[in-house]
Structure 1
Amino acid sequence: MALSDADVQKQIQHMMAFIEQEADEKAEEIDARAEEEFTIEKGRLVQQNRLKIIEFYDRKEKQVELQKKIGASNLLNKSRLEVLKAQEGHIRNVLHEARQKLHIISQNPASYKKLVVDLICQGLCQLLEPELVIRCRKVDQNAMNEIIPIALAEYKNQSGRTCNLIVDTANWLPAELCGGIELITQGNRIKVTNTLEARLDMLAQQMLPEIRGMLFGANPNRKFDN
């Protein structure tokens, strides 16, 4: 039996309502899926950027920590250099005071003569020459008449050798020196300087670690003294 127009309209309305419902459900499904995907993507992006931010500030923190360590190291090195500079200044002052007191040695004629004998004998043993020129202060010229024979006898006793010592009366040692002698080979080829100042400088260099230890105590960072 043929449908009436009303039935056809009713059927069409029913089909349209069904289609609309299907469309609404599909749209809701799409919206839900889109919302879920948006939430997931948003979470992923947030996490990704959060990790980037953490990594950035971790890197910044490490840079700051490194700069702090470098700054502390620079300050420590600077303070060490200042301490070393102050110590060197103090050592120079001590050696200067020692040089100022060298003149006391020559004020005791007996001990000074014995010292000069030893200085001459040591120089002779270093050079082992048959003839040498000896220089002294002009103030020591008369004392040399007594000192030189004693030194030559001591030299012969130690080495079995002899030497002719010629006092250089044309070139005295500077008067400001505290004492001692110089021995020079013929032609000025070799010179041994055994003035009191030269001996003090040599001893200061040899005993520098001991001097540092006496003045400032043992250095915990130093393994060897030389």
Structure 2
Amino acid sequence: MALTDADVQKQIKHMMGFIEQEASEKVEEIDAKAEEEFNIEKGRLVQTQRVKLMQYYEKKEKQIEQHKKIQMSNLTNQARLKVLKDRDDMITDLLNEARQRLGEIAKEPASYSALLEGLVLQGFYQLLEPKVTIRCRQKDVEMVQVRLINKNIPIYKEAVQSNIVVKIDQERFLSSEICGGIEVYNDNRKIKVSNTLENRLELMAQQMMPEIRVNLFGANPNRRFTD
């Protein structure tokens, strides 16, 4: 039995409806899959960027912390250097004050004479030469000649069992700015023992510097040795 035009049109519409249904379902499937892939990719990108941001800020935080440590170290070092400079300035002022007081020693003839006696005799012992020359301030020549050399030569001879010839330099004297004391030379003047009051103060300051620092600033907890 032959199909009428109406039947053909009906079958065509049915087939078209089926195809459209299939196409619609396929589109929905593609859309769902695309949405799923989009969400997965979006999540991956977000996570990747989140990790990068965390790493970036972690690096920045470490840099800031390191910068703070460097600044603190610099400030600590600057403070330590300032303390050391202030301490050195205080010691320098103390030594300058001591130097100024040296001039008072020579104003007491009895004590100054006894001091010179020890300085002259020490110079003899340090040189141990048969001939020596003493240089002193011009104002001290008589005291050194009369009261010291004649007294110290017998003491020296008895102590070392050797003779010694002593003379005072009458051409060159110690500067009048020197507070006192003497210099002793061997015969050719290549060896000198400086026993001026200023020199003795410097030697004493060097020897007593650890004790001076402890008395002024207290013991250093980081110092392992005291000599």
Letter in 1 for 2:53: I
* Residue-by-residue CA offset, 1:179-200 (whole Å, 9 max, x unaligned): 1110112232111110010010
Change over 3 Å in CA distance of 1:175–1:35 after alignment to 2: same
1:5 corresponds to: 5
2:196 corresponds to: 195
CA RMSD of the aligned region, Å? 1.8
2:80 corresponds to: 80
- Taking the TM superposition and a 5 Å limit, the aligned residue runs for 1:64-103 are 64-103=64-103
1:182 corresponds to: 183
Letter in 2 for 1:220: P
Change over 3 Å in CA distance of 1:4–1:105 after alignment to 2: same
Q: CA deviation at 1:34?
A: 0.8
Counterparts of 2:17 and 2:162 in 1: how far apart (Å)? Answer: 139
- Taking the TM superposition and a 5 Å limit, the aligned residue runs for 1:145-224 are 145-224=146-225
2:109 corresponds to: 109
Q: CA deviation at 1:176?
A: 2.2
Q: Secondary structure at the match of 2:133?
A: strand
Q: CA deviation at 1:2?
A: 4.1
In the superposition, the TM-score normalised over structure 1's length comes to 0.92
Aligned residues: 226
* Residue-by-residue CA offset, 1:57-103 (whole Å, 9 max, x unaligned): 11112222222221222122112222211111111111011111112
Counterparts of 1:112 and 1:161 in 2: how far apart (Å)? Answer: 28
* Residue-by-residue CA offset, 1:107-134 (whole Å, 9 max, x unaligned): 3333322222221222222221110111
Counterparts of 1:191 and 1:63 in 2: how far apart (Å)? Answer: 61
Letter in 1 for 2:41: E
Percent of aligned pairs with the same amino acid: 54
2:27 corresponds to: 27
Counterparts of 2:120 and 2:35 in 1: how far apart (Å)? Answer: 107
Letter in 2 for 1:93: D
The answer on 1:141 being equivalent to 2:141 is: yes
Counterparts of 1:157 and 1:37 in 2: how far apart (Å)? Answer: 114
The answer on 1:61 being equivalent to 2:30 is: no
Q: CA deviation at 1:201?
A: 0.9
Letter in 2 for 1:187: N
The answer on 1:18 being equivalent to 2:2 is: no
* Residue-by-residue CA offset, 1:164-216 (whole Å, 9 max, x unaligned): 11110111111222211101122321111100100101111222221111111
Counterparts of 2:16 and 2:45 in 1: how far apart (Å)? Answer: 42
Q: Secondary structure at the match of 1:219?
A: coil
* Residue-by-residue CA offset, 1:131-165 (whole Å, 9 max, x unaligned): 01111112211211221133223333433333211
Q: Secondary structure at the match of 2:225?
A: coil
Change over 3 Å in CA distance of 1:162–1:14 after alignment to 2: farther
Gapped regions of structure 1 (runs ≥ 5): none
Letter in 2 for 1:143: M
Letter in 2 for 1:203: M
